[in-house]
Structure 1
Amino acid sequence: MKNETVSINEHEVSLYSCNTIVVGSGAAGFNAASRLFDYGVKDCAIVTEKQTGGTSRNTGSDKQTYYKVSLSGNDADSVYSMAETLFSGGSMDGDIALCEAASSSESFMRLVQLGVPFPRNRYGEFIGYKTDHDPYRRATSVGPYTSRMMTERLEAEVMSKGIPIFDGHQVIRVLTHDNEVRGLLCLVQSGNEEPQYVVFNCRNVVYATGGPAAMYAESVFPGVQFGASGLAFEAGVKGKNLTEWQYGLASVRPRWNVSGTYMQAMPRFISTDSAGKDEKEFLLDFFPSREEMLSRVFLKGYQWPFDARKVSGQSSQSSIVDILVYLEKQKGRRVFLDYRSNPGSGAIDFSVLEPEARDYMEKAGACFGTPFERLSHMNRPAVDFYRTHGIDLALSPLEISLCAQHNNGGLATDLWWQTNIAGFFAVGEVAGTHGVYRPGGAALNAGQAGSQRAALFISAHRTETPREAAEVVSACTGAISEMIELGRKAVKKTEPETARTILHSQALEMSAAAGPFRTKSKLEVFRTLIEKKLAAFPHEVHVTHPSYLAWVFRLRDVLISQFTYVSAMIDYVDTGGKSRGSALYADSAGEIPYPGLSEGFRFIIDDGFRQGDVQEISYGLPSCSIHWRTVRPIPHDDSFFENVWRMYRENQNIW
C-alpha cells in the first residue's frame, strides 16, 4: 500500500493506494478481507468507522441462527433444494439463491475450522433444527452470540495475516468516474481542531457497511451501527427490494430480539403510564380466552417477525400480538415483558393450549412454574444475557417495542455480488440478496457466501495495480471538494448543534410513516419533508466542533437513504402492491381483521402477483428512477463432469 499527500483545492489530504478496500468490520467484511488475502490479493485493507461496532458483533437473540444445507440426519436435502427454499421467499433472484446454497457448506466448515463451536453429535454430524420458512433442519446456533463469535474468529484471522485496518475512518463519499469506482473519501475521527480527511485510491471496494440502521428510531440495530447505504445510492448504485424489511418485538435497553424462548416461556405483557405506574395486562382485554392468548404468545417464538399473513384470527396467527403492542405504545404507554408471574392469574393448565404449544412445552419438560422458571429451564443463556446487562428477569420487567430488525432488500448485485458500478461490490446486510421472506439465519450465510464470491471474482478479474494518484484526484476533485466544503460550513461554534437533533426527529418520522404499518398519504408527506431537509442541508445542519462532524455526514447519508427507501414504498403502492412480508399497507378496499382496530388496519393480503418481480431503484432528486424486472431464475447449468472440469481448469468458472 502506497501513501502520499496530495493537494485538492488548497487542502492537503493523505491518499492511500491499494487494489481493494473493504468497508466494514463485521462478519462479512472480515471474511472478504481474509478471503482476498487467501486468493492472492494481498494489496488490500479494511476501512471502518469503529472496529468493534456494527451489527454482527453487537446483536443476537435467544438462540441466534446460522442457516446452511443440512449436514445431519436423513433429510433428503441438496444444494438445489436449499436454493429452491431461498427462492420461494418471493422476489429473489435464483442465481443468487443457488450461489448462497452452494457456498453454504464451505462457508460453514470454514467457520468451524476457525473455532466457531457449532454443535455436533457423537458421530460428528452437525445437528440442526427447523427455523422460520425452513422445510428442513438446516439451522444451527452457538447460542445468543453466534454472529459475534463469527466476527471475533474472522477478525483474529485478519489480524494474523497482517491486513491493515484503518479504524476511526468514516466513509463520507464513494468516488466514481465513468461508472466505475475510483475510491473513497473518509473523515478521520481524530477530535482535532481541524478535520482530517483521507482519500483511498483503489480498483475495488467491497462494501460491508450493514443495513441502514440509523434510519429508524424504533430499532433493534445496536447503537453503534449506522449504515452507509445512502452514499452508495448517491454514487449511482441501484437499490433492490427496498420495501422489504423485517420488524419484530425487541427489548429497548439493551436492544435485543425477544424471539424464540423469550416468547415460548409465555411471559405477561404489561403496560404502564410514562412514569411506570397504572400497570395493565392489556392482552387479556383482547383475546376471548387466556388459553388462546397464551398460544399466540408462544407462537411468537417461532413466528417472531411481524408477518402480514399472520394477523387474522385463524389458528396459529400470532402477529396480532405485534399490533397490540404497537397500539398500546401509540397511547403513550410503555410496554414490558414480565417473567415474574404467569399471565392472567394462577397456574397454567398446559393441556388446554393449542397442540403446537402444548407438545413443545411437554417435550421441553417445561410445563411448570413461572415464565422465569420456564425460561431458565429451557434456555439459561437467554436469562444470563440480560443479567450481564444489569437486568434480572426474576426481579424486573423488560421494556419492549416493535422494532426494525433487518433489511431483506438493499444494494442490487449480480451473482458475484458486484453492483452496477464496476469494481463496487456489496456484501452482508447492505446487499439486497433476499426476497420478501427468508429463513431465519439466512442472512449470516449470505454474508459469508457473498464475501467469498466477491473476493473470488476480484482475484480472477480485477487485480490491476491502483491508478496514479493524480488521475484519481483529477477525476474526483469536485466530489472531494464538495464534502470538505460541506464540513467547513457545518462547523459553527456560536450556533446550536442541529445535526443530532434532526437525525433523531427524522428517525422518529421514519418509524411512524415507513415502519411495519404504512399508508400512502403518510409516506408522501414524509418524502416531501426529506426532500426539503436535503435542499436546506448546507444551511440548517450545524455542529459546534469539528469532532462532531461525523453526525453531519451520518445525517446526510440517512436522508438520502430515507428518500430512496420511501420512494420505493410509494412506487410499490402505486403499482398495485398489497400487504406482504413484514409490512401492512392500509387499503380502503380491504377488511379490518378484528373488531376494534382502526381504519389504518384495513388491508388486503398480497396474492403473489409481484412474487416473480424485483423492484430496482436509482436515487435522484426530485424523483428516483424505478423499474420492475422479472427475477432471474435458478440456473440449470450443464453439470456433466468433464465439461465443468475443463472450464474450471481454464478459468475456475469465475465469469
Structure 2
Amino acid sequence: MSLDVPQHILDALTDVEMPRLGAEPEFAEHVAVSGQRLPAYRTGALVVGSGAAGLRAAVELKRRGVEVTIVSQSAWGGTSACSGSDKQTLHTANTADRGDNFQDMARAIGAGGAMDADTAYVEAVGSPRAMASLQYLGLPLPQERLGGILRYQTDHDEIGRATSCGPRTSRLMVKVLGAEAIRLGVPFFNQTTGVRILTGADGAEGLLAVRSKARGTDNPYGLVLFLAPVLVLAAGGPGELYRDSVFPNGCFGSLGLALEAGLELANITESQFGIGTRREGFPWNLSGTYVQVIPHIYSVDADGAEHHFLADYYRTTQEMASNVFRKGYQWPFHASRMLDFGSSLVDLAIFREGERGRKVFMDFNRNPLPVPDDRPFALDRLDDDVRSYLTNAGASQDTPIARLRHMNPLAIELYRRYKIDIATAPLEFAVNNQHMNGGVAVDVWGRSNVGGIYAVGEAAGTHGVTRPGGSALNAGQVFGTRAAEHIAASGRAARPCRTGAGGIPEAVSAVLALARPGSRLTLRGLREEIQARMSEHAGILCVPDAVRAARAGARALSGRIRSEGIAPDRPSEFARLVQWWQMALASEAVLAALDFYIARGGGSRGARAIRDPGGDAVPRARSGSLEAYRFRAEDPAHRDEQIRVRLDGETMHLSLHRNRECDAAARSFFERDWPAWLTGALYD
C-alpha cells in the first residue's frame, strides 16, 4: 500500500511557522566605562541561546518562579531551528514497543566510552518526562492506534528507541517551547551576541554583549551589560570551526566564550561527521530514508565525466547497495566501520573523491549501477537486514525516488522548499562536520566548574565518543530541566539586584583591544585559516605529525591575535570579530586535546581514524588493501577517561579525568529518601 499523505499535512510539517516575539524590555540603567555609556539590564538568571535546550531551561526556570531572561544572536536561527535530517530523531526510552529499562538505555548512551555513567543514567531516566512534556506542549509525535509512540532504529541504537515527527522535529520542539516561553512572559533580547562572561570571587556576575540597536556616538560598538548571578550557556556547538560543515552559517557556539571565563571543557576531541548537503546551499544530513532507498551514488570530474567510484570499493553489487542502505542508521563516520567492507567505507570513498577534486552526487532516479562482473542491482538480492527492512516498509517500488515517496514524502518536500527537486535532479553532497560531542564539563545538574554557570545542549560536554542518534535532543531537554531545578533550589537566582559589577572595566577593555584597524589579520583571513586547518587536519582522518603541526599553527594564530588584534571593516562587524577570536581559541583547544590524545597512544575511535603506517587496522577495497589509510586501533583503556581542557593565561592546560560512575545496584527507598526531596538536600 502506498503512503498517501495530503499536501496540507506535508506543508505543516515542513514549513514550520515560528512564534512571534513580543516587545523587548527597556534597559533600566546605564554604566559608564572606558569612556562609553553602556545600557545595563538586571535579571536573576540569563539563558544564552534560544534553541531547544535553552528554551527548555528558560521555561522550567520561569515555572519555578525564577526571574529569567533569554539573549539570542538570532532567534529561531540556530541549529535546533534550522538543521535536521530525513526524519529527525528524538531518542527516548522505549516503553511502548519491545520494552526497555533505564540502565540498558544508559549503557547504550555511554557505549562508546569517555562518558560519565551518572550522566548517561540521568539522560535515560529523564527521557520519558522530556518527551511527555513536549507532547503536552503540542509536539506532534506519532502514535499507533493504542497510544504507543511509533519507533525506529537509529545510529548506535539496537533496540529502536527513536521517534520523530518529520525532518523538522527539532524546529517543532523550538516552536512549542518558544511559544510557552512567550506565554509565560520570559523577556527575550534578540540580535544580541554574548562576547564576554563577567565573573567575580563568587562566580558568575553577568554577560557583556553586543547589540546593533545600542550603537551610538557614546557606544560605537553597541556594547550592553546583562547583570545576573546565574548564566545558562545554551548557544549550541562551534559550527564555524569547519569549512566542510552541515551547520547553518553563523553558528559559533560558546566554547571560546567559556574558555576565556575559566570554564573547563571535556571531550572536545569527539565530534560527528557524516554525509550531507553543503552549507553553501541548503545544509542537511542525508541519513535515514535518503540512503535507505538506495540511490545511485557517483562522482563527476573536472571534465564532466561520471565515475561509479563505489564499485571500486565493494566486492559485489549486493554488498555495495546494502552498505549504502546502512548509512541510514549508521550515518556517522566510525573508524571501525571502514573495516570488513562496512558502511563507513562509503564515507572514505566519498572523502577520497573530494580530495581528487571531484563532486559527488546522489541520484534518486537511478538504482545503483552494478559492480563490474557482477549481477545488476535487485531488491531481492540484498543482505537479510536490508531486505527485511524494505519488505516491512512496503518499499518494493522500482526506483529510489518512488521508494522515497512511499517511505517518507516529507524528505522530498523539504528540499523543494529550498529550490532543489531531488525527484528530477541529482543532489550534490559531501562528508561534513555535524556535531560536537564535547563541550563545557558539567555535573549531573549541568553545573560547570565556575559558580553560577551552567551549560546545556550542545554547549555541554555530556556526550562520550559515540551517542545514539537523537540523544543530543533528549540530553538538551533533560539537562535544561535539571539545571532549572538546581538553580531554583539553590536560591542564587533570587537575588538579581545584588549582582556586582566589579569585572566590567576589564571585560570591556579586553574586547575593545581586539579591534585594531591597522592589523594584517582580517575576518575573512581568519575564517579561511581556521576552517582549512580544522577540515584538513582534524576531520575523519588524522595524521599524528600533521595534528601536532596544526596545534602549533593554531597556537601561533592565537598569539598573533593577542599581539596584533583583528582589523574590522566597520563597527557592525565587531561581534563577529570577537566571535572569530573565540573560534581561534576553540580551534586551539580542540587541536591541543586531539594532539594530547594521540601522543598518549590514542587510537581510532568514533568519528576519527588515526592514520599510522605501523597501525594494526587497514581498510580493504575490492582491489586490495588501502595501505595509505592504515590506522591505529582504539586502546580500550582510554574509554574510562576524559580529556579536560582549561585556558590558563595563554596556555591550554590539559588533564585526564576518570569517568564518573553510577552504582547500578543502588536502590532508592521511599521513606529514607523522601526527606532529601522535601528539604532540597538532594541538590547539594
Task: Give the TM-score normalised by the residue count of structure 2.
Answer: 0.90
Residue of structure 2 equivalent to 1:294: 321
Matches within 5 A, 1:624-635: 624-635=652-663
Residue of structure 2 equivalent to 1:233: 259
Contact 1:417–1:450, Cα closer than 8 Å, also in 2? yes
Contact 2:442–2:462, Cα closer than 8 Å, also in 1? yes
Q: How far, CA to CA, are the matches of 2:605 and 2:115 in structure 1?
A: 14
Contact 1:191–1:546, Cα closer than 8 Å, also in 2? no
Q: Does 1:419 align with 2:422?
A: no
Name which of 138, 142, 159 aligns with 1:136. 159
Q: How far, CA to CA, are the matches of 2:176 and 2:681 in structure 1?
A: 28
Matches within 5 A, 1:110-259: 110-178=133-201, 180-190=203-213, 192=215, 194-252=220-278, 253-259=281-287
Contact 2:263–2:449, Cα closer than 8 Å, also in 1? yes
Alpha-carbon offset, residue 575 of structure 1:
1.3
Write the deviation string for residues 549-592 of structure 1: whole angstroms up to 9, x where unpaired: 22211211110000001100001011121000111011222143
CA, structure 1 residues 551+449, in 2 after alignment: closer, same or farther (shift >3 Å)?
same
Alpha-carbon offset, residue 524 of structure 1:
1.7
Write the deviation string for residues 310-348 of structure 1: whole angstroms up to 9, x where unpaired: 11125xx11000000000000111111111212216973
Q: Residue type matched to 2:223 in 1?
A: Y
More deviation in 130-139 or 25-34? Answer: 130-139
Residue of structure 1 equivalent to 2:37: 12
Q: Residue type matched to 1:340 in 2?
A: N
Write the deviation string for residues 406-447 of structure 1: whole angstroms up to 9, x where unpaired: 111111001100000010000001101011111111101100
Q: Residue type matched to 1:271 in 2?
A: S
Q: How far, CA to CA, are the matches of 2:111 and 2:668 in structure 1?
A: 23
Residue of structure 1 equivalent to 2:573: 548
Contact 1:531–1:622, Cα closer than 8 Å, also in 2? no
Alpha-carbon offset, residue 134 of structure 1:
2.3
Name which of 272, 291, 296 aligns with 2:300. 272
Q: How far, CA to CA, are the matches of 1:568 and 1:641 in structure 2?
A: 44
Matches within 5 A, 1:421-436: 421-436=450-465
Task: Give the TM-score normalised by the residue count of structure 1.
Answer: 0.94
Q: How far, CA to CA, are the matches of 2:254 and 2:302 in structure 1?
A: 34
Q: Residue type matched to 2:678 in 1?
A: R
Q: Residue type matched to 2:495 in 1?
A: T
Q: Does 1:372 align with 2:407?
A: no
Residue of structure 1 equivalent to 2:523: 499
Alpha-carbon offset, residue 600 of structure 1:
4.7
Matches within 5 A, 1:174-573: 174-178=197-201, 180-190=203-213, 192=215, 194-252=220-278, 253-274=281-302, 277-314=304-341, 317-344=342-369, 348-461=377-490, 462-466=492-496, 468=498, 471-472=500-501, 474-487=502-515, 489-490=516-517, 498-537=522-561, 539=564, 541-573=566-598
Q: Residue type matched to 2:456 in 1?
A: V
Q: Does 1:46 align with 2:70?
A: yes
Alpha-carbon offset, residue 74 of structure 1:
4.4
Contact 2:76–2:174, Cα closer than 8 Å, also in 1? no
Alpha-carbon offset, residue 456 of structure 1:
0.5
Q: Does 1:26 align with 2:54?
A: no
2:44 partner SS? strand
Q: How far, CA to CA, are the matches of 1:360 and 1:18 in structure 2?
A: 52
More deviation in 173-182 or 139-148? Answer: 173-182
Write the deviation string for residues 75-104 of structure 1: whole angstroms up to 9, x where unpaired: 2x2223322222333111111112111211
Write the deviation string for residues 172-204 of structure 1: whole angstroms up to 9, x where unpaired: 111122361111110113495721100111110
Contact 1:411–1:431, Cα closer than 8 Å, also in 2? yes
Q: Residue type matched to 2:485 in 1?
A: L
CA, structure 1 residues 286+599, in 2 after alignment: closer, same or farther (shift >3 Å)?
closer
Alpha-carbon offset, residue 497 of structure 1:
8.3
Write the deviation string for residues 110-146 of structure 1: whole angstroms up to 9, x where unpaired: 1000000111122222232232222423211101111
Q: How far, CA to CA, are the matches of 1:239 and 1:332 in structure 2?
A: 36
Alpha-carbon offset, residue 468 of structure 1:
4.7
Contact 2:287–2:327, Cα closer than 8 Å, also in 1? yes
Matches within 5 A, 1:587-626: 587-590=612-615, 591-594=617-620, 600-620=628-648, 623-626=651-654
Alpha-carbon offset, residue 236 of structure 1:
0.8
CA, structure 1 residues 125+573, in 2 after alignment: closer, same or farther (shift >3 Å)?
same
CA, structure 1 residues 648+496, in 2 after alignment: closer, same or farther (shift >3 Å)?
closer
Alpha-carbon offset, residue 373 of structure 1:
1.4
Q: How far, CA to CA, are the matches of 1:451 and 1:530 in structure 2?
A: 33
More deviation in 474-483 or 10-19? Answer: 474-483
Contact 2:93–2:102, Cα closer than 8 Å, also in 1? yes
Q: How far, CA to CA, are the matches of 2:213 and 2:587 in structure 1?
A: 28
Q: Residue type matched to 1:173 in 2?
A: R
Alpha-carbon offset, residue 392 of structure 1:
0.9
Alpha-carbon offset, residue 360 of structure 1:
1.6
Write the deviation string for residues 580-633 of structure 1: whole angstroms up to 9, x where unpaired: 011101122214322667655111221411111111111246542111121111
Give the aligned CA root-mean-square deviation in angstroms.
2.0
Name which of 665, 668, 672 aligns with 1:643. 672
Q: Does 1:66 align with 2:95?
A: no
Q: How many residues align?
A: 644
More deviation in 198-207 or 373-382? Answer: 373-382
Q: How far, CA to CA, are the matches of 1:14 and 1:68 in structure 2?
A: 43
Gaps of 5+ in 1: none
CA, structure 1 residues 510+600, in 2 after alignment: closer, same or farther (shift >3 Å)?
farther
Identity rate, percent: 36
Q: How far, CA to CA, are the matches of 2:681 and 2:93 in structure 1?
A: 23
1:367 partner SS? coil
2:336 partner SS? helix
Alpha-carbon offset, residue 496 of structure 1:
8.8
Matches within 5 A, 1:566-581: 566-581=591-606
